[in-house]
Amino acid sequence: MHDALPHDELVLRQLLGLTPEQVASLPDYLRVFIREFLAA
Q: Where are the domains of the chain?
A: 2-39
Residue 5 pLDDT: 59
Asked whether residue 2 carries a pLDDT value surpassing 60, the answer given is no
Instruction: Encode pLDDT of 12-25 as tens digits.
Output: 788 888 888 888 88
Contact 20, 13 (CB under 8 A): yes
d(CA 8, CA 26): 12
For residues 9 and 36, the model is more confident at 36
Q: What pLDDT was estimated at residue 32?
A: 86
CA 32, CA 1: separation in Å to the nearest integer? Answer: 23
Q: Using the predicted structure, report yes or no on whether residue 10 has a pLDDT greater than 60.
A: yes
- Predicted confidence at residue 1, as pLDDT, reads 44
Of 7, 12, 32, the residue nearest 22 (C-alpha): 12
